[in-house]
Structure 1
Amino acid sequence: MKTVKIGGTNWTSSNVALGIMRMGTLAVADCARAIEAAHAAGINFFDSADIYGNDPVLGRGSSEIHFGQALKQTGLSRDDFYFQSKAGLYANADNKITRYDSSRDHLLKAVDGILQRTGVEYLDSLVIHRPDALMDPAEVAVAFDKLQASGKVRHFGVSNFNPAQVALLQSALSQRLLVDQVQFGLKHTGMIDYDFHTNMTDDGSINHDGGLLDYCRLHQMTIQTWSPFQYGTFAGTFINNDRFPKLNDQLAQLATKYQVSKNAIALAWILRHPARMQVLIGTMNPTHIADSAAGSDITLTRQEWYDLYLAAGNELP
């Protein structure tokens, strides 16, 4: 398993992380097996959010409850892993988002809830889950200072923020924002499509995110990629999907060459980019965790990377 320095600091982690969103519906024993499989594959970074899981009995945040219980079964110590969680979303009983909240009181309360549910002593990183139109950077700064001074949170980041939003928040903080967590993968390539279509007038030339990729590289922010095997946002996986025959044929050829799974090749495609991203995988299947994580050690050739990009339905001008 290769590593990445988070946010250009000396904080070094596996460049593949396991997201625990789906733990809320699993038996604790199955969660423990997923954690153990990740650890065996070299993954030492777990990503969560206080909104993950809505068990009928445990309520909202059940993924973190199960994660904490499963950790005890694994016997892993706190020094064996990094733990990151996100805060700032509200959802109703039907899982429909009803508001974003980056207020001081909410962030402080959210962290206390995360620590209580998981049973961990501190967060290695707290991430604001979505841009909040009512966000007051000065208020967020007070919350971050309190959380860091208390030892509850060591580092901070954002998710789904564009460059202007990052810069606005960063202007008020005493801490550096180390990560921006966004969707990226072979069927969600907007961050790089724009680069190829500079000074053109086709759809690919539309700048949807304010040049996020270049901004993060210039400011040494680690891009954490969520849903790397999904098409659309949550439409489904493109792996072994009959809707994407060319992409799957290309993935299969390279999987055979490197003697790994298609998932590993799709993951290796992300990590081949020089931005030194960190890929968040969300499967709870121990075999799939190991299969996907194997992509960390594969370095695709330049032509293989571009062949996959084209097979995914993209064009080069």
Structure 2
Amino acid sequence: MRKMPLDKRDITDSRLVLGCMGFGGAWDNSPITAEDEKKAERGIETALEVGIRMFDHADIYTRGKAEKVFGNWLKKNHDIREQIVIQSKCGIRFAEDNIPGRYDFSRDYILQSVDGILDRLGTDYLDILLLHRPDPLMEPEEVAEAFERLKESGKVRNFGVSNMNAGQMKLLQAYIGTPLVVNQLEMSVKKLDWVDQGVHVNQPAGRESHFAEGLLEHCMLHDIQIQAWSPLAKGIYSGGMEPVTEAEKSSAALVAKLAEEKGTTREAIVLGWLMRHPANIQPVIGTTDPERIKHCQDAVRQASLMTRDEWYSLYVTSRGHRLP
């Protein structure tokens, strides 16, 4: 039995996370099909085979159907619940009638969302609940009250955020009694602003940075697990998409060369590059293809083997221009 509450070691036991956004079929109100169920089963079971024990959800993924098909699998494999980590996210609301899509961190909406998540997943608790995107109308007292109720009821064991900057996290943390354990951000060999932001200190290029200053360091200082969404950059370096720019083509060629030299897959190189960073980044892989999931399993080893020269070669090649 896993101890409660979850600690940092439990979260990082699985250096890779399977993102479940692709489960459940179309992003509409169409019913779940038998093929949708099989696709989820194949993805989950392949992940477990290669040692992935953590699964990432959100209440909006395929409008709740991703959680539903995972829950259907979990009902048939209920003995495994205490051996895996399940996290989900809430706070994004779809457009309806004349109301636009928006974010909602109100107490009642968070509580209502968690009840729906647990019902669809068919479980009594979430290991981690993330607030999905920053809500400009967030009142931290309300969030704190929701978190406290969820913690006391046993419905959620740990809390985190997604796509938040350091200031937003500090504000929230000042009101809640439990530490935030995760921040999920877009990071990859292609999405480099998280690296560039630090490199461009005192440089004109720093004015073009779109990554929050000090965020990486804040998470590292406070032992907050950084998770990377879209870490494979939609497969642009591993055959999922065709490279377009010269930097993409050069990077894809370098990834392929490194994979061949090291006897591994291109996916493992791309993920290993992320995981080589001292921030101990935890990639959330979004593929549902069993073969591609298997291709990711060597990433941990490749991270440990990647040299500084190799890491910088990929970084600078992807930038498309030399460092300042």
The answer to whether the superposition gives a TM-score over 0.5 is yes
2:30 matched to which residue of 1?
none
2:71, 2:56 → 1: CA distance? 13
Q: CA deviation at 1:313?
A: 2.6
Give distance in 1, aligned partners of 2:52 and 2:207.
Answer: 35
Does the alignment pair 1:264 with 2:268?
yes
Identity of matched residues, %:
41
Which has a greater percent of helix?
2
Q: Does 1:139 align with 2:127?
A: no
TM normalised by structure 1 equals 0.89
How far apart are the structure 2 equivalents of 1:70 and 1:93?
A: 30
Structure-1 residue corresponding to 2:278: 274
Give the conservation status (yes or no) of the 8 Å contact 1:35–1:71: no
The residue identity in structure 2 corresponding to 1:247 is S
CA contact (8 A) 2:259 2:266 kept: yes
Is the CA contact (8 Å cut-off) linking 1:224 and 1:280 kept in structure 2? Answer: yes
Q: Separation in 1 of the partners of 2:140 and 2:24?
A: 32
Aligned partners of 1:255 and 1:261 also within 8 Å? yes
Match of 2:31 in 1: none
Residue aligned with 2:138, SS: coil
Alignment counterpart, residue 310 of structure 1, candidates 300, 312, 316: 316
What stretches of structure 1 of length at least 5 have no aligned partner?
Answer: 1-5, 54-59
Farther-moved stretch of structure 1 (118-127 vs 26-35): 26-35
1:21–1:52 CA contact under 8 A, matched in 2: yes
Higher share of residues assigned strand: 1
Confirm or deny: 8 A CA contact 1:32 1:74 kept in the other structure: no
2:238 touches 2:266 (CA, 8 Å); kept in 1?
yes
2:50 counterpart residue number? 41
Q: How many angstroms does 1:207 deviate by?
A: 5.9
Aligned counterpart, 1:151: 154
1:181-207 alpha-carbon deviations (Å, 9 max, x no partner): 000010001111021121111257636
- Runs of 4+ residues deviating >6 angstroms: none
1:51-104 CA-partner distances (Å, limit 9, x unpaired): 001xxxxxx20110011112334565212210000000011379x971100010
Alpha-carbon displacement from aligned partner over 1:3-49 (angstroms, at most 9, x marks no partner): xxx87466542110001011021521221111110001000000000
Measured in 2, the distance between the counterparts of 1:92 and 1:10 equals: 36
Count of matched residue pairs:
301
Q: Which runs of 5+ in 2 are unaligned?
A: 1-5, 26-34
Cα displacement (A) at 1:237: 3.5
Question: Which residue is 2:209 aligned to?
Answer: 206
Residues 171-190 of structure 1 show CA distances to partners (whole Å, capped at 9, x for unaligned) of 00101001110000100011
Q: How is 1:278-289 mapped onto 2 (pairs within 5 angstroms)?
A: 278-289=282-293
* Cα distance in 1, alignment partners of residues 262 and 37 from structure 2: 34
Aligned equivalent of 1:21: 21
The answer for the alignment partner of 2:231 in structure 1 is 228
